[in-house]
Amino acid sequence: RHYVDDKKDIVDPGIPGATRKILGLDVQKAFDKVTHKSVLSNLAEMNVGVRTYNYISAFLKDRTAILQFGGIQSPVIKLGARGTPQGAVLSPFSFNCTMRKLPEKLENILHIRHAIYADDVTIWTRTGSPDDVKKALQEAADTVQYYIYEIRNLLYRIRCRL
């Protein structure tokens, strides 16, 4: 789906009198908490090829950090088997790998449309009574939260804004 299609679906006139709502979910600390095992197992399921798999595996492996404040520098800190660097081109892709099965779960919810990019999940509806809309959005939010719990690599809060 293209962004333009989403814009038309959300903003442009549709069914007269229909209740429209947009729910924005942000998975907090997504890039910090995602496990390398989850990323790599999803890559393997996606059949990305040996080169791509090995490249991303090397990108994630043996990550370290050094903290610096003024003239003081910490020793090398090993970052373990969780997290991807924020700002790195591969980080959103890596996180998307773990979220790749969520769309099929959201597609089963009546009245709901969605867009997912990395740690941002946007859910909207443009049809149904106010009560139907409320129930559908709650079911979608619950589905996202359960999915994250289910994959067991993001056990933390979801920040939500309606």
pLDDT tens, position by position, 6-22? 556 666 656 666 667 88
Nearest partner of 21 among 30, 9, 31, judged by Cα = 9
Using alpha carbons only, what angle is made at residue 12 by residues 9 and 16, rounded to the nearest 5 degrees?
Answer: 100
**Domains, in order of start, for the chain:** 3-31+96-161 (3.30.70.250), 34-89 (no CATH)
pLDDT tens, position by position, 28-78? 888 888 889 989 999 999 999 999 999 999 999 998 889 999 999 999 999
pLDDT at 65: 87
Give the three-state DSSP class for 68. strand
Give the three-state DSSP class for 32. helix
- Report d(CA 59, CA 84) in Å as an integer: 9
Give the three-state DSSP class for 42. helix
